[in-house]
Amino acid sequence: MIYEKPRFLPGGDRALFVEFGDTIDPELNRRVKQLMLTIQGAELPELVEMVPTYRSLLVYYDPHLTSPEELRAKLKILTEKSEAGEFPNPKVTEIPTAYGGEYGCDLEFVAEYNGLSPEEIIRFHAGKAYLIYMLGFIPGFAYLGGVSPRIATPRLPTPRAKILAGSVGIAGNQTGIYPAESPGGWRVIGRTPIELFNPEKEPPALLQMGNYVKFVQITAEEFKQIRKEVVQGTYCIKETPFLRKNDDGSI
Amino acid sequence: MMEVFEVVQPGSLTTIQDMGRHGYQQYGVPVSGAMDSYALMVANLLVGNDEGAACLEITVLGPRLRILGDTVVAVTGADLSPALNNSPLPMWETVKVCSGDTISFGHPKRGCRGYLAVAGGIDVAEVLGSRSTYVKSCLGGLDGRPLRSGDRLCSGEPRAGISARKLPSQYIPEYQGENELRVILGPQDDYFTRKGIQTFLHSEYRISVQADRMGYRLEGPPIEHKAGADIVSDGIPLGAVQVPGDGLPIILLADRQTTGGYAKIATVSTIDLPKLAQAKPGDRVRFIQITEEEAYQLLQEYDRGIDALKQYIKCNDKDLRPSSKDR
């Protein structure tokens, strides 16, 4: 649920949580994002950094510059301000994805498990906008919401030792992209040639919470071409403004 | 920039660390940085560096380093039997070293993380504003990994006129096998029964063998949840004590993930984290509840102590240049 009033909870002596609720809910997540933008705009000298998540904003502060009590009072005011504020529309980042075959070794399984054809799985997965609820787990990894229950598939019983960077997977009713090579138990249905995390870029992560991603099917040929451009640094990420047409995030 | 060390043997886990990578947790990048920030700060102050310059963090079994150029170093933190050319190297003070010397470490005596600072700081490229090594994602430090034999490390430009500095004994921490950690309850203390909170605050826990830079798993009486350990994921502050379904607490430290889905009963106060960083598997901890306000006051007091320490170091400098101290 979304609380009637946000809760201000201690995270030790250098951090405070502003918690808006305890569920996974796009509206709740939007409030977290709005508060983050409002605090960024306020340019508080005591602010160290913020960690926005599904349902709360963790605010790290410098205790040399404020007491927790003072900060709470400020955050209360900013929280009220953020609810009334105007904010820019989120954007949708296109993730070109090659599905199946060498790029998505579990596509056949996911299809069979759900009683659909591989093409139908792709149709359900690609072309719709998924909300980025937060980043975490490993650098650049986005927690996405809005997967069709028609393609939900349990994780592998034993995780694989190595999943390649860019792999697009399904785990239960979640979908995600591995930003770096990693062990993992997700069902890999495709792979993107674009970079999700690069510490030499600012910001280092391609995706940011509160925005959306849309998977766009590409061929193996296109995968190789885009990969080449990504390596050369000439690839241009496609982004469009998010238009609130449907509540379920589809556009 | 000059070459200062060649790694002859790397030790069990020697990494480059500073005060951590701040500002990127929102992208899922852990903070990392020195586990014992106090020992790192003191090591830096002793050799005339900024307090957050990059040092070597040495874990339990230390490295063997050949000195490649005349410079000044300081070793602080755990007593891992440091030696200069096989004679004991004094800790918590500046030590002159010359090209061709060897610094080595022996039997770990007290604590488990030593810090070696060099005048000018260890010079590696900053990644996202920090030189700290985060091994799991190959970020920072030297190619994002622990030191290896054959690595050569450079230092930055030392401050002019580095002095002979020695830390007064009252500032040298004593590392003990038993630690009282002050904690602030929350953010999810309401996920635990009264009995669970009582267990947490009145039991002794032992640090398990699963204790690394990411966190310390503890062993002891399980802490009772009201209705399960899972929460909708949120951020994880430094020192957060999360309690998964088995009821056994985990204290999350420098290399912790930025977010997590287990209820967090409390957070260890900042000033108690350095001693926790020196605790080893088998050592014992107890949790003492304090309020957020008390923690704030303790932190102010601690900072006044640090200011006094900095003042003392400044006022008691002895010129190091005349190399009368025969080696």
Condensed to tens digits (0 to 9), the pLDDT of residues A148-162 reads: 999 999 999 998 999
Is the CB of A56 less than 8 angstroms away from the CB of B267?
no
To the nearest whole Å, the CA of B206 is away from the closest chain A CA by 22
- CATH number for the segment(s) A91-241: 2.40.100.10
Mutate to test the interface with A, among B183, B234, B258, B276 (most CBs of A within 10 A): B234
Q: Is B88 exposed, middle or buried (0-12, 13-18, 19+ CB in 10 A)?
A: exposed
Which one of B26, B127, B292 has the shortest CB-CB distance to A52? B26
**Closest-approach residue (CA) in chain A for B25:** A51
Identify the sign of the CA torsion A98, A102, A103, A104: positive
> Is residue A45's pLDDT more than 70?
yes
To the nearest whole Å, the CA of A189 is away from the closest chain B CA by 23
Q: Which residues, given as ranges, of chain B have pLDDT below 70?
A: 318-327
Residue intervals of chain A classified under CATH 3.30.1360.40 are: 2-84
**Over residues A211-217, mean pLDDT:** 97
B257 touches A at CB < 8 Å: yes
Is the CB of B22 less than 8 angstroms away from the CB of A49?
yes
At residue A217, what are phi and psi to the nearest 5 degrees?
-70, 135
Using a CB-CB cut-off of 8 Å, the residues of chain A touching B293 are 67-69
Is the CB of B22 less than 8 angstroms away from the CB of A48?
yes
Is the CB of A55 less than 8 angstroms away from the CB of B29?
no
Nearest CA-CA partner of B239 in B282, B268, B219: B268
Nearest CA-CA partner of A35 in A1, A83, A72: A83
Identify the sign of the CA torsion B138, B277, B111, B125: positive
To the nearest whole Å, the CA of B286 is away from the closest chain A CA by 17
> Is residue A250's pLDDT more than 60?
no
> What 8-state DSSP symbol labels residue B134?
B
* Cβ(A242)–Cβ(A87) below 8 Å: no
B297 touches A at CB < 8 Å: no
Using a CB-CB cut-off of 8 Å, the residues of chain B touching A10 are 184-187, 267, 292
**Closest-approach residue (CA) in chain A for B125:** A200
Is the CB of B27 less than 8 angstroms away from the CB of A17?
no
Q: Is B235 exposed, middle or buried (0-12, 13-18, 19+ CB in 10 A)?
A: buried
Architecture of domain A2-84: 2-Layer Sandwich (3.30)
Task: Report the 10 Å Cβ neighbour count for B30.
Answer: 26
Domain annotation for chain B: domains and CATH numbers: 2-174 (no CATH), 178-289 (2.40.100.10)
Cα–Cα distance for residue pair B244/B223, rounded to 1 Å: 9
**Mean residue pLDDT across chain A:** 94
% of chain A with per-residue pLDDT over 70? 97
B144 touches A at CB < 8 Å: no
Residue B155 confidence (pLDDT): 97
% of chain A with per-residue pLDDT over 90? 90
Instruction: Tell me the per-residue pLDDT of B183-216, one tens digit each, with 9 for 90 and over.
Output: 999 999 999 999 999 999 999 999 999 999 999 9
Which one of A12, A19, A57 has the shortest CB-CB distance to B238? A12
Residue B320 confidence (pLDDT): 57
* Cβ(B48)–Cβ(B97) below 8 Å: no
Is the CB of A180 less than 8 angstroms away from the CB of B22?
no
B234 touches A at CB < 8 Å: yes
Is the CB of A13 less than 8 angstroms away from the CB of B231?
no
Mutate to test the interface with A, among B139, B242, B259 (most CBs of A within 10 A): B259
Whole-prediction pTM: 0.94
Surface of B (110-129) touching A: CB under 8 A? 127-128
Is the CB of B237 less than 8 angstroms away from the CB of A11?
yes
Q: Where residue A245 falls among pLDDT bands split at 50, 70, 90? A: low
Which one of A49, A63, A64 has the shortest CB-CB distance to B26? A49
Is the CB of A63 less than 8 angstroms away from the CB of B299?
yes
B28 touches A at CB < 8 Å: yes
Residue intervals of chain A classified under CATH 2.40.100.10 are: 91-241
**Over residues A21-35, mean pLDDT:** 95
Is the CB of B187 less than 8 angstroms away from the CB of A48?
no
To the nearest whole Å, the CA of B93 is away from the closest chain A CA by 28
Instruction: Tell me the per-residue pLDDT of A93-138, one tens digit each, with 9 for 90 and over.
Output: 999 999 999 999 999 999 999 999 999 999 999 989 999 999 998 9
Using a CB-CB cut-off of 8 Å, the residues of chain A touching B25 are 49, 51, 60
To the nearest whole Å, the CA of B25 is away from the closest chain A CA by 6
Is the CB of A53 less than 8 angstroms away from the CB of B235?
yes
> Is residue A36's pLDDT more than 90?
yes
> What 8-state DSSP symbol labels residue B190?
G
**A6 SS3 class:** strand
